[in-house]
Amino acid sequence: MFVSEALSVNDRGHLVIGGCDCVKLAEEYGTPLYIMDEELIRKNCRAFRKGIEKYYDGNGLVLYASKAFSSLAACRIAEQEGLGLDVVSGGEVYTALKAGFPVDRIYFHGNNKSREELVMALDNSIGRIVVDSYEELFNLDGIAGSKNKCADVLFRIKPGIDAHTHDFIKTGQIDSKFGFALETGEAFDVIRRASKMDNINVVGLHCHIGSQIFDIEPFVEAVKVMLNFISELKEKLGLEIKELNLGGGFGIKYIPAHDPIEYEKYLEAVAETVKATAKEKNLYLPKILIEPGRSIVGPAGITLYAVGSVKDIPGIRKYITIDGGMTDNPRYILYEAVYDAVIANRADAPRTEKVTIAGKCCESGDLIAKDIDMPEIKAGDILAVLATGAYNYSMSSNYNRIPRPSVVLVKEGKSRLIVARESYDDLVRNDIIPEDI
């Protein structure tokens, strides 16, 4: 009935997540409110892990892409589920360290890591650094040398695959700011140079073809391209690639029309292709890594809002305004992303009209869902926007000086705060009035 299996309706007609009544959660914690279902996050972690066990003899590691939702509790859950972590900034490294995440299972990405971030990674013995540019490689070699260390690295490669997704979230093609291109020979060149460096240990290759992908084929193609390259490196440089990281990007159901593939199925296809191609080319069977972010936390999250004004513009559009918007969910304004929504206090009401859900920011594009079928909505209703667990809190902002909502984790009828709501004081915490103004 709902796009997420985490949801149901109780006998009062209220939306339920993790055994908790959403109307009560809204009363207790206030709105807007992010809610995450713990069981579903864990279930998703296990589905990916199981895929690697079943189809690749467990010779791999699932890294949770923490950019989807980075917080101490999220890192803790990923750690407990035996996952590794994909981090992309000093801030995400710091969060992982604060959560006590095992450093050897942390992979540090990013297309422009600063010197400070590289120092932080080496000082904390972060497991792998995924090198994205020549400058980074030279910097890293120098910094590692000055510390008498050798950095274990992967190289981010652009496999030249066109994944059918939004332009802004597709990354595997040559015209991308991420990684090294194969076609131009730069990927080969950078690895040839790295293989001669004293303080760099070339462990593996990485690629990430994009996000919210619904096909298996681009992943299979990426594997083939990467294994061809691994074979070339072996032949020409005598280099054995031990880790193949295939990134994330597994699509989730935001609206009923979306039809995601079971997570295990990706792993089956990928593992079979790696095994067959490695055999054909007589290659060492690399350890496989994947980096799901959205698919782990996305379906597990919802956002609750209080409905404020309702403006019906005859013959044009009916706007329903909520007490949040692009500050807690910028995905419509960035990508025209689609969402489904439910009235949490009348969750089984039939959908009888088309409305547009708008936020409270001073931007006409501040929408959450345009022209969606909903039951009649009134001021005071609690609106639940579904599948908001990924790239909502993590991309939130304080535009219009709006404090970020809190995040609550629910399980078996219990709710626990995992991120506190920002206060107005938080908003001015870093402001300074210089003495001379």
User: Is 310:378 a contact under the CB 8 Å cutoff?
Assistant: yes
Q: Output the smallest distance, CB 279 to ligand LLP, in A.
A: 27
Task: Give the range of 10-18, 230-238, 260-268, 286-294 binding ligand LLP by CB under 6 A.
Answer: 286-294
CA dist list (Å): 378 to 271, 322, 381, 382, 383: 51, 11, 6, 9, 10
Q: What phi, psi does 313 have (nearest 5°)?
A: -100, 105
Please pick, from the candidates 155, 180, 391, 393, the single residue that binds ligand LLP as defined by CB under 6 A.
391
Q: Quick one: 20 or 62, whose CB is closer to ligand LLP?
A: 62
The answer to the question of residue 68 lying near ligand LLP (CB under 6 A) is yes
Task: Give the range of 190-198, 216-224, 268-276, 388-396 binding ligand LLP by CB under 6 A.
Answer: 388-396
The residues annotated as belonging to the active site are 362
CA dist list (Å): 45 to 140, 239, 260: 32, 32, 16
The answer to the question of residue 295 lying near ligand LLP (CB under 6 A) is yes
Show the DSSP H helices in 65-133 as ranges: 72-80, 90-98, 115-123
Q: Output the smallest distance, CB 361 to ligand LLP, in A.
A: 18
User: What is the SS3 assignment for 226?
Assistant: helix
The Cα 206–Cα 246 span in angstroms is: 6
Give burial (CB, 10 Å; 0-12/13-18/19+) of 30: middle
Angle in degrees, 0-180, between the axes of helices 38-56 and 263-280, rounded to the nearest 10:
20
Strand partners, 288: 60, 244
The answer to the question of residue 253 lying near ligand LLP (CB under 6 A) is no
Site for ligand LLP in 185-244 (CB under 6 A): 208, 211-212
The Cα 160–Cα 399 span in angstroms is: 36
CA dist list (Å): 75 to 64, 236, 257, 426, 435: 8, 40, 31, 24, 42
Q: Quick one: 29 or 254, whose CB is closer to ligand LLP?
A: 254
The answer to the question of residue 172 lying near ligand LLP (CB under 6 A) is no
Site for ligand LLP in 331-370 (CB under 6 A): 331
Q: Output the smallest distance, CB 235 to ligand LLP, in A.
A: 27
Please pick, from the candidates 14, 49, 109, 128, the single residue that binds ligand LLP as defined by CB under 6 A.
109
Q: Output the smallest distance, CB 296 to ligand LLP, in A.
A: 8
Q: Quick one: 159 or 292, whose CB is closer to ligand LLP?
A: 292
The answer to the question of residue 291 lying near ligand LLP (CB under 6 A) is yes
Which residues of the shown chain bind ligand LLP in the complex (CB under 6 A)? 65, 68, 86, 109, 169, 208, 211-212, 247-250, 291-295, 331, 390-391, 395
